[in-house]
């Protein structure tokens, strides 16, 4: 309201001091002078605006618009703060997820190393078993070969002895040997 009161006298003074008003011919306070008529119409226009409180309405609308802009700015600031908080939360979650994925990768590497180490141990045990089994087979084959050679040598020596004894022994010696063998068997069986 005070703004309206200050505007009217200031406008009137500006109109009076205007250069076109001084350029008009004839007396200034005459209805034939267009500048005077325009000045009176302008003052009446300002008075009508003041009577209907248009400056107050305009000021109220401007204040209302300023309040709306202020509330929008406050909402925008609140949304910005919320967005910052949300961004910070997502960044924390991202760091946590990265740390967790790094732990998972490290655990997987450790598990893989442990599995590889266990596989190597199992392979060494399996190789040792196979080597032992192969050595047992070789020893068994060796013993079988030795037995076979020994049995063959015995068979050959028995055959050779039989041939030698058969050639050198007489019938009387053979009968005496047979009787002595029978006596030996009898004594052992009884």
pTM above 0.85, yes or no: no
Query: Which two tokens mark 61?
Result: 């609308």
Per-residue model confidence (pLDDT) at position 11: 56
**Segment 176-190, tens digit of pLDDT:** 888 888 888 888 887
pLDDT grade for 4, boundaries at 50, 70 and 90: very low
pLDDT above 60 for 7: no
Query: Which two tokens mark 128?
Result: 């040792």
Closest CA to 18 of 2, 30, 34: 34
**Segment 79-108, tens digit of pLDDT:** 999 999 999 999 999 999 999 999 999 999
């Amino acid at each position: 309201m005070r703004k309206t009161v200050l505007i009217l006298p200031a406008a009137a003074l500006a109109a009076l001091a205007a250069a076109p008003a001084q350029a008009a011919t004839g007396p200034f306070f005459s209805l034939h002078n267009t500048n005077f008529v325009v000045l009176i119409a302008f003052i009446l226009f300002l008075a009508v605006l003041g009577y209907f409180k248009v400056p107050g309405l305009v000021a109220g609308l401007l204040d209302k618009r300023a309040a709306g802009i202020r509330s929008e700015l406050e909402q925008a600031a609140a949304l910005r703060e919320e967005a910052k908080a949300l961004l910070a939360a997502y960044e924390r979650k991202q760091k946590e997820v990265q740390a967790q994925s790094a732990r998972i990768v490290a655990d997987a590497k450790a598990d893989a190393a442990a599995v590889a180490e266990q596989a190597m141990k199992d392979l060494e045990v399996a190789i040792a078993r196979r080597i032992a089994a192969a050595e047992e087979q070789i020893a068994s084959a060796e013993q079988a070969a030795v037995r076979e050679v020994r049995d063959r040598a015995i068979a050959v020596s028995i055959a050779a002895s039989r041939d030698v004894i058969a050639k050198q022994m007489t019938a009387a010696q053979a009968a005496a040997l047979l009787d002595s063998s029978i006596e030996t068997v009898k004594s052992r069986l009884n």
